[in-house]
Amino acid sequence: MAKSPKSLNDLFVSNTKNNNLSVYQQKTREFRQIHQLLSELLGDNIAQNIIVSNFNDCILQIETTSAAVATHIKMRQSETLSMIRQRFNPATVTINVKVSPKSMSVKYAKSLTSQSNINEPAPAKVTHIPDNAANMFDDLAKNATGSLKETFARLASHRKTP
């Protein structure tokens, strides 16, 4: 006999300690509250460039793409720690700031805050190249063979026309 799937309400019941979904839901709620506190304390310009990545073993982990933002957070670390201890966890020991220029999570968070209208069409890409570059591709296509010749010819076809 096949088991029927559990309802979402059953999955999010928070009275069981082993329920992973409720644990993740609680952590997400805490991260959002901490981020809101950081926004109030450090300002919106700084907060939009950071993301709370973890809060484990009484250490708050923050990621940013900017060294300047990390320096600003470190300069105000004692004030920030005091507020976090007051509102969330009195045992909070420190704040670790990780600067990761390629942090996808921060880029994702930034893109969510900068979207003005989701229904707005994306701007068209410009696919024209200057005449001198097109001439170089033409010359390369004359001396190439096979697929390379086709590629150079296709690139030369993107010539900018007045």
- Cα–Cα distance, 108 to 120 (Å, whole number): 19
Task: Take residue 103 and report the two structure tokens written for it.
Answer: 């942090």
H/E segment holding residue 94 = strand 94-99
With beta carbons less than 8 A apart as the criterion, state whether 52 and 31 touch: yes
Q: Which uninterrupted H or E stretch holds 55? A: strand 50-56
At residue 124, the pLDDT reads 55
Q: What is the DSSP letter of 53?
A: E
154 pLDDT above the threshold of 80: yes
Q: Per-residue pLDDT tens for 64-98? A: 988 888 999 999 999 999 999 998 888 888 999 99
The pLDDT value given to residue 116: 47
Q: Per-residue pLDDT tens for 44-69?
A: 888 888 989 888 888 999 999 888 88
Q: How far apart, in Å, are the Cα atoms of 8 and each of 1, 27, 30, 77?
A: 22, 18, 21, 39
Select from 51, 49, 55, 83 the least CA-distant residue to 69.
49
Return the bridge partners of 54, or none.
Answer: 61
Domains in the chain: ranges and CATH = 20-114 (3.30.300.180), 126-162 (no CATH)
Structure tokens at 54: 């973890």
Q: Which two tokens stand for residue 78?
A: 């004692």
- Record the pTM: 0.54
